[in-house]
Amino acid sequence: MDSTTQALINRRRTFAIISHPDAGKTTLTEKLLLYGGAIQSAGTVKGKASDKHAVSDWMELEKQRGISVTSSVMQFRYRDYCINILDTPGHQDFSEDTYRTLMAADSAVMVIDAAKGIEPQTRKLFHVCAKRGIPIFTFFNKLDREARDPFDLIDELETEFGIRTYPMNWPISCGVTFRGVYDRNHKTILTFADAHSGRNRIESIACDLNDTERLNSLLGPEQASTLTEQIELIDAAGFEFNREDIDHGRLSPVFFGSALNNFGVEDFLEYFLSLTPEPLPRLSEGEPVSPYDDRFSAFIFKIQANMNKAHRDRIAFMRICSGKFEKDKDYYHIQGKRELRLSQPQQMMAQEREGISEAYAGDIIGVFDPGIFSIGDTIADIGFKVRYAGIPTFAPEHFAIVEQIDSMKRKQFAKGMTQIAEEGAIQIFFEPGAGMERVIVGVVGVLQYDVLAFRMKDEYGVSYTKRDLPHQYIKRLDSSVDPSTLRLAEETKWVKDVKGNDLLIFSGQWSMDFAKERNPGLELLDFDKDAF
Ligand code: G4P
């Protein structure tokens, strides 16, 4: 690989931001984009409550409900870094989408409201990150408000998540008396000239904690002595800084700040960029593929139809794993077993799309999908034998029978259901013998049903009836089993997936036990062997 390409890959940083809704993920993202000059003013990503609109929110529904339903990708430059931020949906009903997005990231930033600490969604998302073993950075936000004791906060992370922490900075009080943070590495105090005026004038003052007189004059005797005591305590009792543990997600560098006031954000970005890894090698059938391999390779982690109603299209998002992508070159679609040219390659600044002619390992690009790609597919240089591990599917936990109302719209109903299922937003099953006008829709979170109804109406002009089923579990059957011969509880349903595989859905543990008891030797296989 030539040194220019190598340098370009080396400066790429690709990470995901996760948080419980309202912790400040959008605000932090916006501030990061501001530093990179990708947006010109605050409020671009998300305006005031009256005008709630996030650059990263695509769908009307998201705006209406004020939640981020699908994840988006934003690229910006900061100094000589090229940064790809993957935004993830905050709502737990979309954790499957989050999981796929995390597959494309090399690290994650977890934003936590310092007044609340770990919240349910932080918990769920953390476990998804931990499963991948990627570095996890923690940003405790909203220190300008009353917050919980910082020792409590890090203790909670350690005990709940079984992760070690290393505070990179330490808050000097919070709420109305919030003065700023102490940077442990540079041994400086970063203070707001006026933490509450809304002005962003930040002073960085070199300060030796042993110089009591100076510290007193800077912070006043009370805050000065509290800070000294607290730093002594974390220096003595806290974990050591260890790069290898950070790289494997065993130690989380912790930052305190206030995204809204832009406090501690630049500092965070600087440290983060120095600690978060450059594009990492990815495994292809157990063998690592270096990002610096000359040959291009990428995998698809997300498919999104109708992102923009003006262009009725479908975009496949891919993470480039090695080499350089070039616009007019022919590539090989491993699963489709054919050569193709990736058309309309683009990078995303959320809703803004920018046509590109080249991209590098670490980047996320979107390409036009004429309906040939599936999540998890690998695309590579012709002759490059590579196949990235598939992306596991979550087992649905809710099921409903969905039936079209207007038989004139049969085609649109089938198209909408199939396309949305191919995106991975829902999963569809069929009762044996049933046609495409009546499907069983399985979802991980019930909010996905709202998205489905909205999109079917908005994008395909179709309404339907929906009847919730009491079923909660889905199991696969071995292909040697003839489901019609099984003795099952009355409520147990035999269904087929789009590929014709046989599955059973159950409403409870007892009916699964029943199936096993009445059919000796019957194996109920996990929905997806890699699933959760
Ligand atoms: P999210 O993406 O994680 O859901 O959170 P978001 O950034 O939308 O922030 C949620 C709310 O918290 C917003 O207020 C935002 O202004 C506020 N916020 C974010 N960071 C800070 C901070 O450091 N300090 C304080 N005090 N507030 C912060 P909102 O009233 O819901 O919305 P808006 O009217 O400000 O847009």
pLDDT (tens digit per residue) in 158-197 = 999 999 999 999 999 999 888 889 999 988 888 765 544 5
Q: Kindly report the protein residue whose alpha carbon is nearest to atom 9 of ligand 1.
A: 24
Give me the pLDDT at residue 255, please: 98
The answer to pTM > 0.85 is no
On whether the CB atoms of residues 77 and 37 are closer than 8 A, the answer is yes
How many Cβ atoms are within 10 Å of 445's Cβ, its own excluded?
A: 20
Closest-lying ligand 1 atom to the alpha carbon of residue 27: 7
Return d(Cα 325, Cα 380) in angstroms, integer. 9
CA proximity to 256, closest of 135, 194, 124, 166: 166
CA 72 to ligand 1 centroid distance, Å: 19
CA of 146 to the centre of ligand 1 (A): 15
The answer to whether residue 318 scores a pLDDT higher than 90 is yes
Boundary of a domain, candidates 226, 248, 275: 275
From 20, 98, 260, 268, mutation site for ligand 1 pocket: most ligand atoms within 8 A of C-beta: 260
CA distances from 502 to 41, 307, 419, 442, 524 (A): 54, 33, 21, 15, 11
Ligand 1 atom with minimal separation from the 29 CA: 7
Task: Determine the average pLDDT of the residues in 72-77.
Answer: 81
* Ligand 1, atom 11, residue with closest C-alpha: 22
Question: pLDDT, tens digit, for every residue of 260-269?
Answer: 988 888 889 9
Q: State the pLDDT at residue 447.
A: 83
Residue 389 domain-assigned?
no
pLDDT tens track for 127-161? 878 888 899 999 999 999 999 999 999 999 999 99
Lowest mean pLDDT among 33-37, 169-173, 316-320, 369-373: 33-37
Are residues 258 and 295 both part of a single domain? no
- Using the mean position of ligand 1's atoms as its centre, give its distance from the Cα of residue 118 in Å: 17
Residues 518, 308: Cα–Cα separation, whole Å: 52
Residues 271 and 294 in one domain: no
* Distance separating alpha carbons of residues 124 and 143, to the nearest angstrom: 24
Which ligand 1 atom is nearest residue 47's CA?
A: 36
440 CA to centre of ligand 1 in angstroms: 38
Q: What is the CATH number of the domain that holds 167?
A: 3.40.50.300
Per the domain annotation, does 138 fall within a domain? Answer: yes
Q: Which domain holds residue 311?
A: 282-380
Distance from Cα 134 to the centre of ligand 1, integer Å: 27
Which neighbouring-strand residues pair with 203? 191
pLDDT category of residue 296 using cuts at 50, 70 and 90: very high
The best mutation among 17, 19, 22 to test binding of ligand 1, ranked by most ligand atoms within 8 Å of the C-beta, falls on 22
Residues 6+ apart with CB under 8 A from 222: none
Half-sphere exposure of 217 (CA within 13 A, CB side): 6
Q: Give, using CA atoms, the residue closest to atom 28 of ligand 1.
A: 260
Q: What is the pLDDT of residues 498-522, one digit of tens each?
A: 888 999 999 999 999 999 999 999 9
Position 308 confidence tier, pLDDT thresholds 50, 70, 90:
low
Residue environment code for 87-99, b if the CB has 16+ CB neighbours within 10 A, otherwise e: bbbbbbbbbbbbb
Ligand 1 atom with the smallest distance to the CA of 111 is 3
The C-alpha atoms of residue 395 and residue 84 are separated, in whole angstroms, by 29
Q: Give the number of the atom of ligand 1 that is nearest the alpha carbon of residue 43.
A: 36
Domains: count for the chain: 3
Identify whether 254 is part of a domain. Answer: yes
Beta bridge partners of 140: 112, 256
Is residue 532 in a domain?
no
Evaluate if residue 443 carries a pLDDT over 50: yes
* 375 lies in the same domain as 427: no
For 68, residues 6+ apart whose C-beta sits below 8 A from its C-beta are 26, 54, 56, 57, 62, 87, 88, 89, 90, 91
Q: Are residues 368 and 511 in the same domain?
A: no
* pLDDT interval class at 349 (50, 70, 90): low
* Alpha carbon distance 484, 523 (integer Å): 15
Q: In this structure, are residues 175 and 142 in contact, taking their beta carbons and an 8 Å threshold?
A: no
If asked whether residues 237 and 302 sit together in one domain, one would say: no
Ligand 1 atom showing the smallest separation from residue 261 Cα = 23
Q: How far does the centroid of ligand 1 lie from the alpha carbon of residue 23, in Å?
A: 7
Closest C-alpha to 329, from 289, 298, 301: 298
Which residue CA neighbors atom 16 of ligand 1 most closely? 260
Distances (CA, A) of 327 to 296, 298, 470, 488: 12, 14, 49, 54
CB 263, CB 180: distance < 8 Å:
yes
For residue 147, the surrounding DSSP H or E stretch is: none
* Helix extents (H) in 249-383: 265-275
| Residue ID of nearest Cα to ligand 1 atom 7 | 24
Predicted confidence band of residue 56 (pLDDT cuts 50, 70, 90): very low
Q: Whose CA is nearest to atom 25 of ligand 1?
A: 142
Q: Answer with the residue of higher pLDDT: 215 or 8.
A: 8
Residue where a domain stops, chosen among 260, 275, 290: 275
Instruction: Report how far ligand 1's centroid is from the alpha carbon of 27 (Å).
Output: 6
**Residue whose CA lies nearest to ligand 1 atom number 17:** 24
**Across residues 430-448, what is the average pLDDT?**
89
State phi, psi for 505 to the nearest 5 degrees. Answer: -115, 140
pLDDT of residue 114: 98
Residue 301 CA to ligand 1 centre (angstroms): 29
Is 50 exceeded by the pLDDT of residue 334? yes
Q: For residue 193, what pLDDT is reported?
A: 59
Find the DSSP H helices in 162-264: 212-219, 221-237, 243-247
Cα-to-centroid distance, 37 and ligand 1 (Å)? 21
Say if residue 46's pLDDT is above 80: no
What does the CA dihedral 146, 147, 150, 151 come to, rounded to 10 degrees?
A: 100
List, chain by chain if needed, residues with CB within 6 Å of any ligand 1 atom. Answer: 19, 21-27, 46, 48-49, 90, 141-142, 144-145, 258-261
CATH code of the domain containing 309? 2.40.30.10
Average pLDDT for the chain: 86
Residue-wise pLDDT for 457-487, tens only, equals 988 999 999 999 999 999 999 989 999 999 9
**35 phi, psi to nearest 5 deg:** -60, -35
Minimal-distance CA residue to ligand 1 atom 30: 49
In percent, how much of the chain has pLDDT > 90?
Answer: 55
Q: Are residues 45 and 80 in the same domain?
A: yes
User: How far does the centroid of ligand 1 lie from the alpha carbon of residue 260, in Å?
Assistant: 7
> How many angstroms separate the alpha carbon of residue 22 from the centre of ligand 1?
6
Indicate if 253 and 314 belong to the same structural domain.
Answer: no
* 125 within a domain of the structure (yes/no): yes
Q: Is residue 391 part of a domain?
A: no
Q: Are residues 325 and 451 in the same domain?
A: no
Query: Residue of the nearest CA to atom 14 in ligand 1?
Result: 22
Tokens of 169: 């900075």
Q: Give the mutation target among 27, 33, 55 for probing the ligand 1 site: most ligand atoms within 8 A of CB.
A: 27
Q: Are 269 and 289 found together in one domain?
A: no
pLDDT at 234 over 90: yes
By DSSP bridging, strand 12-19 and strand 107-113 are parallel
Burial per residue of 141-170, b for 16 or more beta-carbon CB atoms within 10 angstroms, e otherwise: bbbbeebeebeebbeebeeebebbbbbbbb
Apex 212 CA angle, 206 and 218, nearest 5: 55
Q: From the CA atom positions of the chain, what is the Rg in Å?
A: 25
**Which ligand 1 atom sits closest to the C-alpha of 263?**
23
Cα 349 to Cα 39, 54, 287: the distances in Å are 10, 12, 33
Residue whose CA lies nearest to ligand 1 atom number 29: 49
pLDDT value at 323 more than 60: yes
Residue 102 CB: number of other CB atoms within 10 A?
Answer: 25
> 268 and 316 share a domain?
no
267 close to 183: Cβ distance less than 8 angstroms: yes
- Asked if the model's pLDDT at residue 306 lies above 70, the reply is no
Q: What are phi and psi of 218, to 5 degrees?
A: -80, -45
Domain presence at residue 385: no
Query: Are 177 and 194 in contact, with CB atoms under 8 Å apart?
Result: no
One domain, residues 81 and 202: yes
Instruction: Name the pairing type of β-strands 136-141 and 251-256.
Output: parallel
* pLDDT on residue 423: 80
Which of 380, 413, 438 corresponds to the end of one domain?
Answer: 380
Same domain, yes or no, for 243 and 296? no
Instruction: Give residue 399 CA to ligand 1 midpoint distance, Å.
Output: 35
Q: How far is CA 91 from the centre of its chain?
A: 11
The candidate with the shortest Cα–Cα distance to 178, out of 187, 191, 188, is: 191
Q: How far is the CA of 76 from the centre of ligand 1 (A)?
A: 22
Q: Which of 19-23, 140-144, 212-216, 219-223 ranks highest by mean pLDDT?
A: 140-144
- Cα of 113 from ligand 1 centre, angstroms: 10
Buried b (16+ CB within 10 A) or exposed e, 451-470: bbbbbbeebbebebeeeebe
Asked if residue 362 belongs to a domain, the reply is yes
**CATH number of the structural domain spanning residue 522:** 3.30.70.3280
DSSP 290-314: -TT-SS-EEEEEEEEE-SBTTB--E
Å from CA of 20 to ligand 1 middle: 12
